[in-house]
Structure 1
Amino acid sequence: MEENKKKETLEYLNNWSNNSLGKTLGIVFTEVDDESLTATMPVGPEVHQPFGILHGGASVALAETLGSCLSVLHVDTTKYVPVGTNINSNHLRSKRSGIVTGRATFIRKGNTLHVSQIEITDERGHLINHTTMTNNIIPHSKIK
């Protein structure tokens, strides 16, 4: 992917919607190429569970945001919509503060089904979470 296209894509994703969970969580898309998408999310009290560590649901929200947006970048959204149908998330390490980085890549990129894996790491490269996500690619006419 050429540099201008990367910048344009990141700008589009980061400004897509101001009223979304991604914005609420502070998710920022930072890198994109032909087969992957990367974003960061700050970790602090606003995304903690009661014991003061990163809430698993916040990790899943980052993972699903990345998996969904990766699919969006690979379909003609004037005709099709990626719809998440399955997510499996493993929380592997706790995190209290700082930044986590998620990177989504395809396991399978078909015409009607995308399966991606998302790895979320901390600043030292430790794996915090591993998620797999399935998106069905359906025509707009099937959305109710």
Structure 2
Amino acid sequence: TRSTHHPSPLFSPPGSLAVPSGPGWRYEEGINGVFLSGDVQMTDRELQVTVGGLYLLYGQFALTCTAPTCPPGTITLQLRRTSSPRPLLTVPLALPDDAGANPARSGLAQAVGQLQPGDVLSLALEGDVAEDGWQLAQDEREGNFVGLLRIAGG
């Protein structure tokens, strides 16, 4: 049986990249073919794996400049297992210095990872942007996501 999970990364407070505790999770109904199965349990800040197996991990996100100018740099969204310092999935985004009102969008990143029952997953943002002016793009939220698809095991 294949399962699809599609929690979306969100920033709290909305619009700020200065989030010491990292982005949270939210599952949105209404995206065709996407559902939250019993393979994971979701809280505001973490996912706990209930069914182990080999998973396809994927994600992308976009940021919008909300200030008159925003500094260039690099932001990386990471999916992490709390028991390991190494990310399971890394989604890089290079921020241009001339973004204007157009969102800077990452490519779709994917990886395959073995997850065990009891693994706890969280999201983190890493970056070298000195100022706050970038926010998660709100006008195209369906383009901001992290997902897991169990492809074997269980």
Q: TM-score, normalised by structure 1?
A: 0.34
Higher helix fraction (1 or 2): 1
Higher strand fraction (1 or 2): 2
Greater RCO (Cα-Cα under 8 Å, separation 6 or more): 2
Q: TM-score, normalised by structure 2?
A: 0.32
